[in-house]
Amino acid sequence: MNFRLSSEQESIQKAAAEFAQGEFDKDVALEHERKHSFPYEIWKRACELGFIGIHYPDNCGGQEYGVLENVLVAEAFCRQDSGLGIALSHADSTAEMILRFGTDEQKVKYLTPLCTGKAISSGAFTEPDHGSDIRSLGTTAVRDGDDYVINGSKMFISNGPIADFIIILCQTDLTIEPSYRGQSVIIVEKDSPGYTAADVGEKMGNKMTPTGELSFSDVRVPKANLIGKEGQGFYQALRILEEIRVEISAQALGIAQGAFDRAFAYVKQRKQFGRRLIDFQATQHTLSELMTKIETARLMVYKAAWAIDQEQIDPMLISMAKMHAARVAVEVADEAIQLFGGYGYMLEYEVERFYRDARLMGIFGGTREVQKNTIARELMK
Amino acid sequence: MNIIVCVKQIADPEAPEESFTLDSEKNVFIPSAKITKVLNPFDEQAVEAALRIKDQSGAKVTAFSLGAGLDRAVTKKPVFMGADELILLEDEAFADGDSWSTARALAEGIKKNGSYDLILCGRQAADWNAGQVGLGIANFLGLPYVTVAKKIEIIDGKARVERVTSNGHEVVEVQLPAVITVSNELGQARYPAIKNIRAANKVQPVVWKPSDIGIDPSSVGKNGRRLHLLKLFKPVIQGTCEIMEGESTEEMAENLALTLRRAKIL
């Protein structure tokens, strides 16, 4: 058993932190927050330095690292800024579907632009009537000659309005029982006739990642856009959700640590009743509780990522990490606001934004309840 | 073109005061175990200066660092930024040296490494801020030197250097090989790139001990010191606040400027 990151992993962690500290300007972040805009400039710089798609293969412009290294980058980015961090680490949303199930041609064609700052991806599983339950889908793809013709709609899709291509889960066999055995994953490019994406509107947080409602009306795509095998989409989606959940748990971990850092710095300089806040034992105990929570989340997240890299995917651990880290992010951000007092409620002091962004962590990529279902199912096996 | 850049690992100069203590009896600095180690920011600027020359006209950039128990994630940073090679003068004997013993060991290391056209150092290290190692290397190697550079251009075997002065800058030329110390006015140093981290971790840095560079271990590090520290203490920092008066914002600004000039800050 070895709990240490390698020197190489430490270097990646330091490099990601240094980039984020240097480039994630607070005013720029607040501007994107206000405008609900994606931080294209910063994202392009992150791509140039190799942070995006760090886990892709060499021939696609990647760096051949694993899930753990990707986790270290997501954590460092979200620690510096929750909104910019989520936006950047989700810019290649669901690309793992192509990475794990795509052909070599598909990998080169779709992954290369994602890590070289030329394209943004989106994964569309959720539908207006199918959120956590994706066993049956309303979106259909029917074979017509060498094409699929796609009809239906998708809801709450991260990057939907700005994605250059969308990785959708749809029903290709309309008669099979149970229906999830007739699902497939297909790529739709943004300029396909019949495809439209609309922004879902004001959200509580996560404002730098546009969220969309997608509509497909007789969208025709070549059958070469099928990822993996026809009829295997449901199983592929479950497999990829494991990786997405680990990445989200890393974002949650970074948000928790970032909120803690800000509160810790504040209580060291803020004086009340003639003493610094940190000199009150009540404050020290709060900090101790928070740091303990963050450390437990970190151990779970790193272990879950490491297990994937060892090809020992552990669905129970992943769901526990996702549920726990998401909860810790909210709890730490909440206490951080409390330590800041009135200032914590102000946009200027950032922790309220960390709190709003943290709240998403227990919802997207599988709600807390879905994680509990997985944990229980694995427990009872 | 062979460029040598000398870099130093230091305790994070931005670290809070609680992260170290001073023993004023023995005149030693005692960092806490948790204090982060970083590359001296001025040395990063020197690496950046070397890489700008490399980008422009091609060069082999070799980084040198000296110390004991060096952190690879820190000392490899020049390579992560784009330098070609790293040579570490690393041994317990190198610990706790002064500018003289450090400059001497680095000069011997640079000689052993072979030919060089330009040697770059940060203007000073952000721990002891002596700013003498670069000049010491020039002295040991018998080279001319230029200090506090903000821009370096290589033209026909000479370096044209813009050097910072108290009221602007001056432009000087120096025949290569030469030593140039680089100032923060050079501009932002580039970030480490993941592809460089990946490449760097496939090769181990060259490590030389005192005997490898022909120096007796008993004459380097703390045994080679010629400078003796007489008093080490934390200064007491006192702040007072003065409110600028004035009828208008402009007048208040003018009063502020005049006050700062009287205090010799401007």
ipTM: 0.90
Q: What is the predicted pLDDT for the residue at B104?
A: 96
Residue A306's pLDDT band, with cuts at 50, 70 and 90, is: very high
**B226 vs A: CB within 8 A:** no
Read off the pLDDT of each residue in A67-94 and give the average, rounded to a whole number. Answer: 98
Handedness of CA B16, B18, B22, B28 (dihedral sign): negative
Query: In chain B, where do the E strands start and end?
Result: 2-7, 9-11, 20-23, 28-31, 37-39, 60-67, 85-90, 118-122, 145-155, 158-165, 168-175, 178-182, 206-208
Average pLDDT over residues B194-207: 92
Confidence of residue A362 (pLDDT cuts 50, 70, 90): very high
Task: Provide the pLDDT for residue B266.
Answer: 80
SS3 B253: helix
| Residues contacting B216, CB < 8 A, separation 6+ | B210
pLDDT digits (tens, 9 = 90+) for A202-246: 999 999 999 999 999 999 999 999 999 999 999 999 999 999 999
pTM: 0.92
B76 touches A at CB < 8 Å: yes
Residue A49 in contact with partner chain B when CB distance is under 8 A: yes
Q: For residue B54, what are its two tokens?
A: 């490399």
What's the rounded mean pLDDT across residues A161-178?
96
Calculate mean pLDDT across residues A168-186. 96
A-chain CB neighbours of B193 within 8 Å are 15, 48-50
The pLDDT, as a whole number, for residue B235 is 84
C-alpha–C-alpha distance, residues A135 and A129, integer Å: 11
Tell me what the mean pLDDT of segment A238-257 comes to: 97
Give the nearest partner residue to A12 out of B72, B191, B194, using CB atoms.
B194
Instruction: Say yes or no to pLDDT of B29 above 90.
Output: no
Min Cα–Cα distance to chain B from A11, Å: 5
- Structure tokens of A157? 């899709």
Q: Quick one: pLDDT at residue B192?
A: 97
CA distance, residue A7 to nearest chain B CA (Å): 6
pLDDT at residue A178, as a whole number: 94
Q: What angle do CA A138, A141, A147 make, to 5 degrees?
A: 165
Interface contact flag, A50 B76, Cβ < 8 Å: no
Measured between beta carbons, the chain B residues lying within 8 angstroms of A63 are 194-195, 198
Is some CB atom of chain B closer than 8 A to the CB atom of A266?
Answer: no
Confidence of residue A344 (pLDDT cuts 50, 70, 90): very high
Smallest Cβ distance to B195: which of A18, A19, A50? A50
Q: What confidence category does residue A369 fall into, taking pLDDT thresholds of 50, 70 and 90?
A: very high
Specify the pLDDT at position A326: 98
Q: Best interface-test mutation with A: which of B191, B196, B202, B203 has the largest number of A CBs within 10 A? A: B191
Average pLDDT over residues B91-95: 95
How do B118-122 and B178-182 pair as beta strands?
Answer: parallel
State the smallest CA–CA distance between residue B201 and chain A in angstroms.
7
Same fold, A7-115 and A121-231: no
**For residue A133, pLDDT beyond 90:** no
Q: Is the previous residue joined to A178 through a cis bond, with omega within 30 degrees of 0?
A: yes
- For residue B159, which of B117, B122, B106, B190 has the smallest C-alpha distance? B117
Does the beta carbon of B193 lie under 8 angstroms from any beta carbon of chain A? yes
pLDDT at res. B182: 98
In angstroms, the separation between the Cα of residue B143 and the nearest Cα of chain A is 35
Q: Which residues of A touch B194 (CB under 8 A)?
A: 12, 15, 49-51, 54, 63, 65
User: Is a pLDDT exceeding 90 seen at residue B34?
Assistant: no
Mean pLDDT of chain A: 96
Q: Which domains does chain B have, with CATH numbers?
A: 2-224 (3.40.50.620), 236-266 (no CATH)
Our CA-based measurement puts residue B191 at a distance from the nearest CA of chain A, in whole angstroms, of 6
Comparing A54-58, B32-36, B107-111, B253-257, the range with the smallest average pLDDT is B32-36
Give residue A258's pLDDT band: very low, low, confident or very high (50, 70, 90): very high
pLDDT at site A131: 80
Helices then strands (H, E): number in chain B? 7, 13
Assess whether pLDDT exceeds 90 at residue A372.
yes
* B72 to chain A: closest CA residue: A7
For the cut 90, the answer to whether the pLDDT of residue A259 exceeds it is yes
Task: Say whether pLDDT at A53 is over 90.
Answer: yes
Q: How far apart are the first and last CA of chain A?
A: 26
pLDDT tens digits, one per residue of B107-137: 999 999 999 999 999 999 999 999 999 999 9
**Does the pLDDT of residue A130 top 90, yes or no?**
no
> Checking DSSP bridges between strand B206-208 and strand B85-90, what pairing results, if any?
parallel
**Does residue A12 belong to the interface with chain B, where contact is any CB pair within 8 Å?**
yes
**Contact at 8 Å (CB) between A160 and A122?**
yes
Domain boundaries, chain A: 7-115, 121-231, 235-380
Residue A50 contacts B where some CB pair is shorter than 8 Å:
yes
Indicate which of A4, A7, A11 best probes the interface with B, i.e. most B CBs within 10 Å of its own CB: A11
Q: What is the mean pLDDT of the segment spanning B61-87?
A: 95
Residue range A235-380, CATH number? 1.20.140.10
Q: Does domain A7-115 have CATH number 3.40.50.1820?
A: no
The pLDDT value recorded for residue A319 is 97
DSSP A92: B
User: What's the pLDDT band for A117 if we cut at 50, 70, 90?
Assistant: very high
Residue B16: predicted pLDDT: 83
Alpha helix (H) residue ranges in B157-245: 194-200
Among B191, B195, B201, whose Cβ lies nearest the Cβ of A8?
B201
pLDDT, position A194: 97
Size of interface A-B (CB pairs under 8 A): 47
Choices 3.40.50.300, 1.10.3720.10, 2.40.110.10, 3.40.50.800: CATH for A121-231:
2.40.110.10
**Closest to B193 (Cβ–Cβ): which among A10, A22, A50?**
A50
Mean pLDDT, chain B, rounded, equals 94
